[in-house]
Amino acid sequence: MTMGQKIMQLRTERHLSQEQLAERLGTTRQSVSRWELDQALPSLANIVALSRLFSVTTDTLLRDGISTFDPEYDLYPCGVYRSPTAEIVNTVRFAAVYSCSSDKNILSARLYVGFEDQKTLCAICERNMDAARTSFAFVSNTGKTVSDDGTLTGRIGEPFDPAQLRSMQRLESFTVADNSVKQPTVSETGIRRCLESWRMGASYRVKEDAMNFFLCTGKTEYVFNIRTEGKDIYCGASYNIPFDLGMFGGGQFFRVRNWQDNSEPFCRFFCNFNYYPKEIRIPTEKVQLGCMVQTDTGMLWCVKRYTDDEIILQGCGDDEYRYNRNDKADERYQPL
């Protein structure tokens, strides 16, 4: 299969016209047509852009005779994968792994960063339930490995193995979108659509004493935060669903919430990779603006205040959940 044939196959599989593909790449329809007819080759920058857009390796596009869907060479698309003991969200730049041992004694969160299938471990947190001990290690913005007791330091730099996804169930698929597209304002699309659009993506921020990772696929939300002060750790995977007056917490199925001596009620540790909300009815009749309302089926985080560019929800306790239209994301996603 030629490169042009591969580009045409990937484009048509995603129901894109030549004009739509050209618009996403910042080129012309005529250029896309010439590529697909093998009359011209895309530039290196366009090959990288095509691999990100279609969630395949650059080798998949460049090598002759290899089908995009040949299992020997296929890079698994951006998506969410699950087994009885783990969930992995894999994107072009990130792989976030939430897992537990078979006896649920060890809960683990790991973050790999890189490009395509060349990602390496940059942060790890493990909770030993029997020993009631939480350990962590991460790479700071200065390149130094920060760890609470050194037990996990040696694992930093481990490669991510995408082959493990073969045996897992794929729950979601999505592609990396154009990060330069301006996000809508509240007055243009309303609160619900803005919460959906503004949140859908990933961001990774690191300082000398903290790391923060957030990723939302549209259906699922992943958080991995470490602050060394007070050993403040939060690793969570949840189904959080926007609606017209806020967001509904439809269920959290992984949680490592560690803070100092863990005497606070929010410090909890559990995993349940069998959980999936099949039908969720958001109890909008219980909404109280500016409040967090706990219901029998989940949490209502209701709008506290908003502008065209910012939405603030009342979170749990004294927390405020802030979402800003202009927040910078490392990646933006769109569903397939």
Longest CA span, the chain = 67
Q: Which fold has domain 3-62?
A: 434 Repressor (Amino-terminal Domain) (1.10.260)
In this model, does residue 73 exceed pLDDT 50?
no
Number of Cβ within 10 Å of residue 103's Cβ equals 9
Rounded to the nearest 10 degrees, the angle between the axes of helix 3-13 and helix 44-54 is 40
Determine the Cα angle at 298 with ends 289 and 281, to 5°: 85
- Start-end ranges of CATH 1.10.260.40 in the chain? 3-62
- The amino acid present at 224, given as its one-letter code, is F
**Which pLDDT tens digit goes with each residue over 135-166?**
999 999 999 999 998 889 999 999 999 889 88
Report the alpha-carbon distance of residue 247 to residue 24 in Å, rounded: 30
Report the alpha-carbon distance of residue 5 to residue 307 in Å, rounded: 47
**Which pLDDT tens digit goes with each residue over 82-116?**
999 999 999 989 999 999 999 999 999 999 999 87
Least confident among 6-20, 106-120, 263-277: 6-20
